[in-house]
Amino acid sequence: MGNPAKKRVTAPAVRAMKGAQRIGMITAYDFPSGKIADAAGSDIILVGDSLGMVVLGYPDTLSVTVDDMIHHTRAVVRGVTNALVVGDMPYLSYHVSVEESVRNAGRFIQAGAQAVKIEGGKPTRIRTIEAILDAEIPVMGHIGLTPQSVNTLGGFKLQGKNVDDARRLIDEAIAIEQAGCFSLVLECVPTELAQLITEKISIPTIGIGAGLHCDGQVLVFHDLLGLYDAHTPKFVRRYATIGAEMKSAIETYLSDVREGRFPNDAESFHMGTTEDVKRLYGDAVVVPMPKAN
């Protein structure tokens, strides 16, 4: 459990962390992951649409729906006491019309998130961000490698490598700041570009594959803990190998079941004496109980 004595992190509080403290953010997708991430002291917990890949097993994030996200957001929120919970708006939830985008963003807030995240910084996206902000919903921006654009980007690739692309990303970062976002995720961009953007804008940048100079960092829960090995980007640092530990624990359990070592007497319930059982069913049907080791 988080610390009930500690103040809840808010969107303005995250904004105020720029230059004062580095921001630690991680994704979570359900009650236990939210609870663990919160108890560990995360400033921000993102219910990321990466859940499409690491929890639902899709090859990318494009199949994730608003209903999927709301279901997982509600679960995470139930486990979090202190961190700011940000709901990641999935593909097609803010692409059709401004009105539909605001309504979808509102669903995250009604599910208990305190902010939403939106990918992209082109002018149409900025208008959508402004409308969501106008509905009193804090917005976190996200530029660079935006996984929902995987088909137009031609894959999960480093962004901002050439001067034109880098300049476009700087312009988008400034537009996102001016629109009123409280923070900005920079994904898979060169360290030097992320540093430049971080110095140029007044809101905190949170990097993933964007080097050390961002105001904060984010990693996917399953990547950090070694729970997902379908694809591990270069920028992931694995802090544990929980997946291997889980597999080994399940193997031990299965061998205990097959060898008759589980459950033992302390893990079982008893009715009393064999005489009590006989009184219930009569001698004929009493199955002799094996002696516990």
Which residues of the chain form contacts with ligand KIV (CB under 6 A)?
Answer: 27, 46, 48-50, 88, 185, 208, 218, 220
**Closest by Cα among 208, 230, 211 to 220:** 208
> Which tokens hold the place of 103?
């309504």
Identify which of residues 31 and 235 has a Cβ nearer to ligand KIV in the complex.
235
CA atoms within 13 A on the CB side of 83: 31
| Active-site position among 187, 245, 251, 259 | 187
In the complex with ligand KIV, which residue's Cβ is closer, 2 or 141? 141
Residue of closest CB approach to ligand KIV: 48
Spatial separation of the C-alpha atoms in residues 118 and 65, rounded to whole Å: 14
**Minimum separation from the CB atom of position 21 to ligand KIV (A):** 20
For ligand KIV, give the closer residue by CB, 173 or 265.
173
Bridge partners (DSSP) listed for residue 141: 118, 184
Return the number of the residue (157 or 279) whose C-beta is nearest ligand KIV: 157
Shortest CB 206 distance to ligand KIV, Å: 8
Q: How far is the CB of 46 from ligand KIV (least distance, A)?
A: 6
C-beta of 188: minimal distance to ligand KIV in Å? 9
Indicate the residue among 23 and 218 with the shorter CB distance to ligand KIV: 218
**Is 187 an active-site residue?**
yes
Smallest separation, CB 220 to ligand KIV (Å): 5
Active-site residues, by number, are 187
